[in-house]
Every structure is written in C-alpha cells, then in structure tokens.
Amino acid sequence: MNEQKSIGIIGGGAWGTALAQAFASQERDTLLWAREPEVVESINARHENELFLKGRKLDPRLKATASLAEISKREILLLVTPAQHLRATLKTIKPDLSPQTILVICAKGIELETGKLLSEACEEITPDNPFAILTGPTFASEIAAGLPCAVTIATLDKAAAKILQQTLGTKLFRPYFTTDIIGTQLGGALKNVIAIASGVVHGKGLGESARAAIMTRGVAELAELAAAMGAQKETLLGLCGIGDLMLTASSMQSRNFSLGAALGEGKTLEEILQQRNAVTEGVHTAESALALAKKYNVVMPITETVNRCLKGELSIDAAILELMARPVRGL
C-alpha cells in the first residue's frame, strides 16, 4: 500500500527550500509556503529561491504558495520556521488543520519566553495532532544540491512514523526513527551553543586541538542536561547529537560556528547580526539552556561562558581563559 502523503513545508528559508527540493525532486507531492511574496514568485516563476538559496535550480514540480490556509490542508506539515516563531505559526494554522495532519518540527531551539521545548509548544497548541521532530546533521545547500544525508525523526506515534518513513524517506534523504522526543530536541538545540564556543576558539586561532577539547566537553555538558531532563544518553550519541555537533561546530557553513568565529576575531555581536538575513539560533538557545540547567541543577560551563559573552558581560579574552581553564568532564 502506498502510504505517501502530500507534503507542505512552512518556511521558505534555505532549509525549508532544501527540504522541499529534496522531496519534490523524488516525485513527492510537495508545496512550499513562504512568508515573503518574492520567494513565492521566484520559485513559481523561475524555479529558484533567489532570496535564500540563490543559484540553486529547483525542481519545476515544486510549487510555492503565500496562503497559510492552502498549505495547512497538506497531510504532512514540516514546520521550518525559526524556533521562536513556532508557537505563533501553530496558532495561525490550527483552525485549518485536520486532526490527522502530521506536524513535523524542523526548527532547532528552545522557547526563550517560556523555557519550553518546541514539542511542548506543539502539545499545548495542537494537542490533537500527531507530531514528530526532524533534526540531524545537514547543510541546506548540500541537501538542495541532491547530496545524501541522514536525519533523526523522533515521534511517539507509530502510525505517523510509518507514514513519515514512506513519504520523506528517499535514497538520498534517510530518516532514522526514535521515540526520544526530549533527547532529539536537546541535541539539535544545545549543539548550536557549543558551535559558537568552537567558533570562538577557531576565530582566536587557538587551533584544532583546543577546539576538539572544547567540543568534547560540550558533548558531556549537553548530555548531562539531556539525561537530567529524561532523555536517553544514547540519543545524544546519534545523528541529532554528536552527528549534528560535528557538522555544526566545524564549518563556516554553520551560522553558529561562523558567528563564534567572528566574535573570536574581535567583531561585536551587533556587527555580526547586522550582516545576516537569517536567524542564528544559538544566540537565543544559550540563555534558554541556562534556565533549564538551573531548573535541573546541571552545571554547563561552556554554555554559561558563551551566554555571558553574547550578553557582553565577558570579553572574548576572558571567555577563552574560562573555556580553556576549566576541567574537561568526560575523559
């Protein structure tokens, strides 16, 4: 039985467009919603997202829409909005959802205002819908170019897992399933903060050896919070944890790593953010993560140093001293 359902992607940034291209190019019935009319026009008229993924030809079968009511009718909805906008998006689309619509959270982050995971927002706003988390080590530009990747999909709903496997899984886009909703989200969110720290070490020219030491300590720190929050430690060892960290914390293609690198080179946060048209999620996550760390009584020295640095409470040189001087946990 063909269980392939229709796919709607909410969010026309680089990652939303890349996901849409990955599915449309494999003959999945895919529609993309973008907030920006020029993105919708550019995709429909010229098969390109000239604003967020310039130069990448998209499959002509991929259509875009500016209507949230239209996209909300799709059977599977991938939510690729920034983490801090997810709750508002859910509220907006809720009236148009069928109870069968499967919601797939593709943002990585923690709600700054509530301190909640995105799955919690989803459970609060749309409690009747099955939902899943899609996360893992991926660069939008690569996935849009048809390069292979593997991602983690977390869901407690077995029927939804089966449908997502059959609809989203292709020979290039390989989802692996888990039921660890908490661990999956924490890996994707917290690694952005470690990536900023890794970038700072790189930007200061301290070398790859020091960067590997910081990243290793970062894994210990995020695994500790995850375990305290009820996640399985193994989850953090997977694609959505160390896999995503290895990718994010080592490449200038990562917004979080490159932000850290620019800080390390002496730029101010304000200067860096002014030059970006995309969200750098780790900036928000640092503060949210620390609130969780406090609540669950976990010490997160790297996250704390990054946060104080981002808030201007600590100079980069003082931050480096802190990052290098504290003992490594996890040999």
* E strand residue ranges, the chain: 7-10, 30-33, 63-65, 76-79, 102-105, 131-135, 149-154, 173-178
φ, ψ of residue 33 to 5 degrees: the values are -100, 130
Q: Which two tokens stand for residue 202?
A: 């790189």
Beta bridge mates, 102 = 76
Residues binding a copy of itself: number (CB under 8 A): 51
Choose between 33 and 52: whose C-beta lies nearer to a copy of itself: 52
Interface with a copy of itself includes 138 (CB under 8 A)?
A: yes
Choose between 234 and 271: whose C-beta lies nearer to a copy of itself: 234
**Site track for a copy of itself across 185-214, x = CB under 8 A:** ---------------------xxxxxxxx-
User: Which of positions 227-246 make contact with a copy of itself (CB under 8 A)?
Assistant: 234-235, 237-240, 242-244, 246
> Is 191 a catalytic site residue?
yes
Distance CA 182, CA 184 (A): 5
Q: Which of 298, 300, 305 is nearest to 322 (CA)?
A: 305
Q: Which of 116, 191, 267, 311 is catalytic?
A: 191
Interface with a copy of itself includes 257 (CB under 8 A)?
A: no
Angle (CA) 248-192-178 rounded to 5° is 80
Collapse the DSSP code of 6 into the 3-class scheme (helix H, G, I; strand E, B; otherwise coil) and give the result. Answer: coil
Interface with a copy of itself includes 330 (CB under 8 A)?
A: yes
Distance CA 245, CA 268 (A): 24
Q: How far is the CB of 151 from a copy of itself (least distance, A)?
A: 9
Spell out the residues 6+ positions from residue 274 whose beta carbon is closer than 8 angstroms to its own. none
Q: How far is the CB of 309 from a copy of itself (least distance, A)?
A: 18
Interface with a copy of itself includes 253 (CB under 8 A)?
A: yes
Single-letter amino acid code for the residue at 185: Q
Q: How far is the CB of 125 from a copy of itself (least distance, A)?
A: 26
Q: Please report, as ranges, the residues that interact with a copy of itself according to CB under 8 A.
A: 136-139, 142-143, 145, 147-150, 152, 174, 176-178, 180, 184, 206-213, 215-216, 219-220, 223, 234-235, 237-240, 242-244, 246-247, 249-251, 253, 324, 327-328, 330-331
Catalytic residues: 191
